[in-house]
Amino acid sequence: MAIAKLDTVVLDCPDPGVLAAFYAALLGGTPEAEEGWIDLPVPDGPKLAFQAAPGHVPPRWPSADGSQQFHLDVTVDDLDTAEREVLALGAKPLDTSDRARSFRVYADPAGHPFCLCRIEHP
């Protein structure tokens, strides 16, 4: 039996509004703001939250020093289409050169790594 249930993944960032808008456009949902904190109930997923963190230093990827603590994998039907859309939202490519792979790595506007992963249909 589990001890707990995952409720929310919280991302520290310099501007919660900017990051909440990015993930709302990527995953859906409507941001719910409080001072210094924004919740994003994600349809069919756990809630994301964005917390103001003065002096936020984004992780470096890939790097042995200052590397990522975790990253989000999000699934898409078409990597090329999703890539165009996340870049238009302000994502930065981190590892996208291998176009045959089933995933590509980006950074969100605050520098957190995330992967677009192609849905594998049987």
Condensed to tens digits (0 to 9), the pLDDT of residues 76-93 reads: 999 999 999 999 999 999
Preceding amide of 41 cis, omega within 30 = no
**DSSP assigned state of 9:** E
Residue 22 has pLDDT above 80, yes or no: yes
pLDDT confidence of residue 115: 92
Rounded to whole angstroms, how far apart are CA atoms 43 and 33? 17
* pLDDT for 2 beyond 80: no
For the question of whether the overall pTM of this predicted structure is more than 0.85, the answer is no
Q: What is the pLDDT of residue 4?
A: 61
The domains of the chain, with CATH numbers, are: 7-54 (3.10.180.10), 61-122 (3.10.180.10)
CA 103/CA 105 separation, integer angstroms: 7
Question: Which secondary-structure segment (H or E) carries 80?
Answer: helix 79-89
Amino acid symbol at 26: L
What pLDDT sits at residue 36? Answer: 76
3-state secondary structure of 86: helix
Residue 66's pLDDT is what? 65
Is residue 46 within 8 Å of residue 9, measured between CB atoms? yes
Average pLDDT of span 36-40: 91
